[in-house]
Amino acid sequence: MDISVVVPLYNEAESLPELEQWIERVMNEHGFSHEIIFVNDGSTDGSWQVIEELARKNPAVRGVSFRRNYGKSPALNTGFARAQGDVVITMDADLQDSPDEIPELYRMIKEDGYDLVSGYKQKRYDPLSKTIPTKLFNATARKVTGIKNLHDFNCGLKAYRNKVVKHIEVYGDMHRYIPYLAKLAGFSRIGEKVVHHQARKYGKTKFGLDRFVNGYLDLATLWFTGKFGGKPMHFFGLLGSLMFILGFIAVAVVGFGKLWNMYHGLPYVLVTDSPYFFLALTLMILGAQMFLAGFVGELVARNSPRRNDYEIDTEL
């Protein structure tokens, strides 16, 4: 099969028939063998009935339905597990992404050799309250992830080589960082294509402004687990040691300073009257705790059943 289109959706009943027709039209014009996998993320507006109806008429339509709403990432992950096409395309259900982009995305994976191609909504039809924070967010993500050529990490329209979606696990709210997940799994050929974007036609957005707070927190998590997930002591140990040593030196300076002055008959203050003493104390306590966190982290990492899972590419 050439293409699997994976569509996560939450309360998008009005858009679905139009979206399905549009995808079908593009597929038929280009003669792609395909499937459309609708992942219903616990909708309460009759979306599932619409999908059942579409599936009755079109054998290429498949559907999975969660009993409750879990979020876009779990929906994508579930669709990925079922996708059979050589190229897997994800797109939002709200008609903001255009199925007309599919043939070129397919070509970029098949012929240009990309593992993942992300859409780039260069001209966006979203409110300013969303487009400005998004710019900042993407700049940070480029820096932290080292994927310098992406401008729109969270674009719903993306294409993947089948192998990629089978080797990444999208959980929590990590759909914003799928290119980073792919990179961490060893897929380095990541490309971008400018795509058409439209204003939402029906319904309303499912994400509020909290997306930006959560987005940054998730980025910190991925950066940390990607870099130190298997060796937490390298992070906590270094930080803890530095803090402890700094505190120790400070305490030594305060203590010896006092003794020195005492012996030489100079005026001196009590150790506990010096602000440096308290700073030093805090540093040493925090440093020791960091170190302990490193040990605990190592114990956890050591017990992970996946501690020796590696991404093996080829083998003879």
Which residues of the shown chain bind ligand UDP in the complex (CB under 6 A)?
A: 8-10, 12, 41, 69, 71-72, 75, 92-94, 96, 156, 205-207
Report d(CA 117, CA 132) in Å as an integer: 23
Q: What is residue 100's DSSP assignment? A: G
In the complex with ligand UDP, which residue's Cβ is closer, 155 or 284?
155
Residue in 285, 287, 281 with CA at minimum distance from that of residue 239:
287
CB of 41 to ligand UDP, least distance (A): 4
Q: What is the DSSP string of 50-74?
A: HHHHHHHH-TTEEEEE-SS---HHH
CA 103, 108, 112, 115: dihedral to nearest 10 degrees? Answer: -140
Radius of gyration of the chain (CA): 26
Q: Which does 9 bind (CB under 5 to 8 A by kind): Mg ion, ligand UDP, none?
A: ligand UDP
Provide the minimum distance between the beta carbon of 207 and ligand UDP in the complex, in angstroms, as a whole number. 5
> Among residues 92 and 152, whose Cβ is nearest to Mg ion?
92
Tokens of 39: 């992942």
Q: Does residue 187 sit in helix, strand or coil?
A: coil
Q: Determine the Cα–Cα distance for residues 111 and 3; give it in Å rounded to an integer.
A: 14
From the list Mg ion, ligand UDP, none, partner contacted by residue 247 (C-beta under 5 to 8 A by kind) = none
Given ligand UDP, Mg ion, none, residue 21, with its beta carbon under 5 to 8 Å by kind, binds none
- Kindly state the smallest distance separating residue 156's Cβ from Mg ion, in Å: 7
11 or 274: whose CB is closer to ligand UDP? Answer: 11
User: Parallel, antiparallel, or unpaired: how do β-strands 116-120 and 158-161 relate?
Assistant: antiparallel
Give 9 or 60: the residue with its C-beta nearer to ligand UDP.
Answer: 9
Helix (H, G, I), strand (E, B) or coil at 303: coil
Footprint of Mg ion on 68-97 (CB under 5 A): 92, 94, 96
How far is it, in rounded angstroms, from Cα 277 to Cα 13?
A: 65
Shortest Å distance, C-beta 40 to Mg ion: 16
Quote the CA–CA distance of 295 and 278 in Å, as a whole number: 26
Shortest distance, position 125 Cβ to Mg ion, whole Å: 10
Report the partner that residue 69 touches, choosing among ligand UDP, Mg ion, none (CB closer than 5 to 8 A by kind).
ligand UDP
Among residues 10 and 187, whose Cβ is nearest to ligand UDP?
10
Query: 91 or 251: whose CB is closer to Mg ion?
Result: 91
Q: What mask, x for binding Mg ion by CB under 5 A, covers residues 166 to 205? A: ----------------------------------------
Of residues 131, 264, 153, the one with CA closest to residue 218: 153
